[in-house]
Structure 1
């Protein structure tokens, strides 16, 4: 009986030490006010991030994995501390890293007049556009982020996506989680 009691006491310590062994490092991360489309495990929205000494520069990289504990909202720049944790046996297409929010340093709204560009079609990723039209919801980026636009821009959106290989959209934030398409930009290559 005494051995069983010792086992119950030791098990939490064993599991806690295993998790500590998986801890790799802590990072300070700046997360941009919008996400972009990239190809990882299929097309997905990814964070634009600056890590540690990159913060404040013009260099942004992509972070494909979510940050556990972060309730991300479009239109805000986040400064956070995250724990990077090694995943011992990741799924075949999964990441070998997990990111966990340790501290929210700041969450700063961007002005609504700040414009940004997001790819709407890139044949290097997919022959399909990244924009879907849902009867009730309207236009959405990867069926996740609502897109608003005036009648003229909306009317030229689908014909452009059908006929062109590389299409960008110039947007600004609306403030309700949706983005407003101001301009469609066609380029010869990405």
Structure 2
């Protein structure tokens, strides 16, 4: 009797250890990438892709995407429709994604007119994303033409915890502030 109980306990342990039903599996998803990046806070301030996945595609809902897509070379001013493979990462770093994203196919691209306005978070919870080391830039990457709003922008960044700007694209590495929100 003791041997049967011991055998059942061992079998139960082995079966529970080998059961992968709770592990996420590799999948292929559709993803849309917006024509501009936004700011976000990971370990520090970062630029994030704005994405829609699966049933969100075509809606007004865009999500900040803090991962990278292996094999994808994002260019501002273009909306991308992608097919992406997702794979779970075993033991991901505490500050990293639990999924790996790999580009399978660029299904379509759509160039967006430079006059199309878009919003970027310039300050979130006191974290300022505007750098002034070499002119006004978004995280030392994208040049900002503050237009006739330079004083208002400086004042907002100094006195508010949340600042959002509406922009138009001048080029792939320069944007023009048209309104502060």
Aligned to 2:142: 145
Asked whether the equivalents of residues 77 and 172 of structure 2 are also in contact (C-alpha less than 8 Å), the reply is no
Asked whether the equivalents of residues 141 and 173 of structure 2 are also in contact (C-alpha less than 8 Å), the reply is no
| Structure-1 separation of matches of 2:172 and 2:64 | 24
Could you tell me how far 1:23 is from its partner in structure 2?
Answer: 5.8
Q: SS state of the match for residue 174, structure 1?
A: strand
Asked whether the equivalents of residues 29 and 55 of structure 1 are also in contact (C-alpha less than 8 Å), the reply is yes
RMSD, matched Cα: 1.9
Asked whether the equivalents of residues 128 and 157 of structure 2 are also in contact (C-alpha less than 8 Å), the reply is yes
Asked whether the equivalents of residues 168 and 178 of structure 2 are also in contact (C-alpha less than 8 Å), the reply is yes
| Structure-2 separation of matches of 1:134 and 1:108 | 34
Aligned to 2:130: 131
Structure 1 consecutive aligned stretches of length 4 or more whose deviation exceeds 4 Å:
none
Could you tell me how far 1:85 is from its partner in structure 2?
Answer: 1.3
Aligned to 1:176: 172
- Unmatched 5+ stretches in structure 2: 1-22
Aligned residue pairs: how many?
Answer: 159
| Structure-1 separation of matches of 2:172 and 2:55 | 32
Higher Cα Rg, which structure: 2
Using structure 1 for the length normalisation, give the TM-score: 0.77
Using structure 2 for the length normalisation, give the TM-score: 0.80
- Unmatched 5+ stretches in structure 1: 1-20, 186-190
